[in-house]
Amino acid sequence: MNMRPHDRFSSEVTLTPDSVAEYARAAGDNNPVHFDAEFAAHTRYRRVIASGTQTTALLLGLTAAHFSKDTSMVGLEYWVRFRRPVFADETIRLEWLIIKVTPNARLGGHIVDLRGRIRGQDGQTAVGAKGRVLVTNGALSTRATFPNCVHG
């Protein structure tokens, strides 16, 4: 896979109240703001919102889907910042930008630094993110990916 700084990849996802409620419950997030419209109407958001775990999973999942097309990939670290709610009936845009690609012989691949975001239907950034992933041309070994771990 040819990766260069300034390369971008993105995807659109349309959320529904049912999918948001189902995800929140599956993730163990029983906050009624994710599934109870009447409750949500009396909150600062005024309507049902997606769980932060759902929006984060969608954004991180896009890195796996993108880099795993032709290579092996593992996430090394991610950071997210929630800037505004993502509503349960919104079409959102997931976006990543490659910032830096650094060869790493010890890990057998390239360390890729990323900046990402989720934009709501209004074009505003709802979630900002940074990430670092390891991309290799072959299968990832546990020893190469996590060299500081004790391997038995």
Q: Are 93 and 119 in contact (CB under 8 A)?
A: yes
Kindly give the confidence (pLDDT) of every residue in the chain, 152 residues in length, as a single tens digit, with 9 standing for 90 and above: 688 999 999 999 999 999 999 999 999 999 999 999 999 999 999 999 999 999 999 999 999 999 998 889 999 999 999 999 999 999 999 999 999 999 999 999 999 999 999 999 999 999 999 999 999 976 554 445 455 544 44
Do 112 and 3 form a contact (C-beta atoms < 8 A)?
A: yes
Which CATH number is correct for 8-145, 1.10.490.10, 3.10.129.10, 3.40.190.10, 3.40.50.150? 3.10.129.10
Q: What dihedral angle (degrees, nearest 10) is formed by the CA atoms of 50, 53, 97, 84?
A: 40
Domains of the chain by residue range: 8-145
Supply the pLDDT for residue 26: 96
Judge whether 33 and 88 are in contact, CB under 8 Å: no
